[in-house]
Amino acid sequence: MNDGWSTHSSHWGAFSARWDGRGVEVEPDAGDPAPSPMLDNFTDSLRHKARLQRPMVRRSWLAKTGEPRGFDGAFVAMPWDEVLDLLAAELSRVHKAYGAESIYGGSYGWASAGRFHHAQSQIHRFLNVAFGGYVRSVNSYSAGASAVILPHVLGSFEALSRRNVTWEQVSQHSDTVLAFGGMALKNSMVASGGISRHVERDAMQKAAQRGTRFYCISPLGDDLPEQAGATWLPIRVGSDVALMLGLAHSLVAENLHDRDFLARYCTGYDIFERYLLGLDDGQPKDAGWASAITGIDAAEIVALARRSAQGRTLVTVSHSLQRARHGEQPVWMGAVLAAMLGQIGLPGGGYNYALGALGHTGRRVNAVPIPTMPQGRNGVEAFIPVARISDMLLAPGQPFDYNGRALRYPDIKLVYWAGGNPFHHHQDINRLRRAFNVPQTIVVHETAWTPTARFADIVLPATMTLERDDIGAAATDPRLIAMRKVAPPVGEARDDFEIFAALARRLGVEQAYTEGRDSRQWLAHLYETTRTALAAKGLDAPSFDEFWQRGELALPSEPDDGGLLRAFRDDPEAGKLPTPSGKIEVFSQTIAGFDYEDCPGHPTWLPPSDQPSARHSLTLIANQPATRLHSQLDFGRYSQSSKIAGREVVRLNPVDAQARGVAAGDIVRLFNDRGACLAAAAISDQVAAGVIHLPTGAWYDPLPGDGDQPLCIHGNPNVLTRDVGTSRLAQGCTGQVTIVECEKYTGPLPPIRAFDPPSPVT
């Protein structure tokens, strides 16, 4: 582009940017109908005081004093060559003494939309090349339960969320959309690898204008956008399975379920129906039963079941429902409800897991591969479900169950983290603090002084996305973006690739890691896969240099064919599902054979184990924020604009606020047995009574000298959430909900320190 403008991309949108030496000017992509305001976080972030500018090493780690790691530890600035020599020696020591199975390679993959400077790929490639492998994690915090249950029931998570019902189908065919957990635009604004067109708002508006009725089944009324014109059903937190069962029972009671579909396409329905009708336990799961649990009127449940049996009905289940104890159940029961309606595989109908939960869902899949950095082969068999990091560090050698396997936690001596902030996305931060004091060494690549960096021993400054060249791409976005460098790196920051290449040189494996290529050569090499596929289809396939000059390239999409569920419906023999039976598993003999009491062989109502009480009378919802991706750029302008007195905002229902003497703008203290935090109050009738809503992502900021459970003065809800698995099946994250109490805070207001870097010492 001219006048210093460069094309670029982020997880929340394609854009152009230019640097004036102090800040970044950003222009959203002209073709995006609903660009994300999160782009504004870039404008003042590159030279923020929170940025890491030099390699830093914890003083107590250098001196081997045994002092616990903590937020306020002292760090020593070191030259790059010296710290890399030190780190290479430490990696060699740990590997020689304990083996590759003592090294945990932590990364969460959201550091950049770029496919080469993808921190997760870079760290995994380095550890595989240098040591033959590492202890890895599987699944994600967002979809830990669904990624495990869905292959047993229907098929892979990717197939059911990304190649299934599209927004085009919804706008043209859906008559009723049952959105369990809603479809908030703040979630679909984000897609790993980049997103160039935000289409969800307009698709829902078009559908609503055509007559589609959306139902927002959530404790939060704004979990669907205004354009959807949704009917809000303020369900009690954690009771979605009960409502689904009540709907299913009503279908059976009025003979509205599709028996032919169930007989031809499903297995085990007869076993499930005995449970549904209460033939064995004496409790029919009817509308009256469901009403008592959910708080939704029984007549309304029956009416909704009748409507769902008419026209084209789509059942969607959000990530949020499975980020709780027994999170597998709503995912499974949503699929069973859709099967009973007999519309799975029809355009705009049936079942789509997580539609609207990410920008990837509801779109067409690209017909050519995108650039992907090869990670090499991991020779270490040990792994953990990603949300079990504290369990692993605190209980090495202890057994745990996962998806029918009996496993043991490895004994980790060194944690190497790049591209993630576990002090944001992990639960029960005070427990995590204890866990982070177990390993001998913790190494972090970071762009800024995140809480994770402050709890590490060796902290290496990494460039931000705008400080390097890359290629932005996603498998469901029809554009390849040349992510041109906009500004020089801050201080002494280096790319992850450059850091790992220097370490690989010291360890004698540089050629294996770099394959003799520098960053520019790697970009051209990775681009070639896409170019070759385009050329094979007779499509525009420019050279890398021409692509780089253009700034973008259009990618073809596959037909909107409904994926594996459409193929299965059209021919259940030729298009068998990848389940043990080849059909939809209403009852799973495999899961039943695991004999997990917290995940039976068919969808089951299992009450939440964390219930409100006189001590903790509110249910906290800790969902994704609207002003940033996870905790990224929390110091950015847009994220900061939403805070009050520098603190994250918590929403209360007017009834709950009045009962506690809380007014809008007051600072409140949220607390339970695990911890406490401060937040600024907002009063909203879009939050159901008895519910309190505090998004994740505010950087952890503990009050100095406040003991083992210090008050987070900034508003991080993960000082309150529970660090337990969804079930023995998936061991997923349960950070979406917990119980708390809230009171007006009247003490001296501590200053926010979250973005103040530690002062270097000698």
Among the options 61, 108, 351, 402, which is catalytic?
108
User: Inter-axis angle of helices 496-506 and 119-131, to 10 degrees?
Assistant: 10
DSSP code, position 369: P
Six-digit token string for 289: 């039963």
DSSP code, position 634: T
Burial of 323 from C-beta contacts in 10 A (0-12 / 13-18 / 19+):
buried
Task: Please identify which residue in the block is written with the tokens 């801050």.
Answer: 490
Q: Name the residue type at position 150.
A: L
Asked if 190 and 623 touch (Cβ cutoff 8 Å), the reply is no
Burial of 80 from C-beta contacts in 10 A (0-12 / 13-18 / 19+):
middle
Residues 6+ apart with CB under 8 A from 529: 369, 371, 372
Instruction: Please state, in angstroms and as integers, the Cα–Cα distance from residue 723 to each residue in 325, 442, 699, 718, following that order.
Output: 10, 21, 18, 9
- DSSP, collapsed to helix, strand or coil, labels residue 702 as strand
- DSSP, collapsed to helix, strand or coil, labels residue 471 as strand
Alpha-carbon 134 to chain mean position: 23
Instruction: Please state, in angstroms and as integers, the Cα–Cα distance from residue 535 to each residue in 127, 368, 528, 530, 545, following that order.
Output: 35, 10, 10, 9, 16
Query: Phi and psi dihedrals of 741, rounded to 5?
Result: -125, 160
Six-digit token string for 111: 């550091």
Q: Is 110 a catalytic residue?
A: yes
d(CA 213, CA 743): 39
Residues 6+ apart with CB under 8 A from 610: 325, 722, 737, 738, 739
d(CA 520, CA 559): 34
Alpha-carbon 47 to chain mean position: 27
Q: Which residues pair with 414 in a beta bridge?
A: 103, 441
Among the options 12, 110, 232, 417, which is catalytic?
110
d(CA 209, CA 172): 11
Asked if 311 and 341 touch (Cβ cutoff 8 Å), the reply is no
Six-digit token string for 67: 């002092």
Element of type H or E holding 269: helix 269-277
Instruction: Please state, in angstroms and as integers, the Cα–Cα distance from residue 571 to each residue in 9, 262, 584, following that order.
Output: 41, 15, 14
d(CA 514, CA 528): 17
Catalytically active residues are: 108, 110
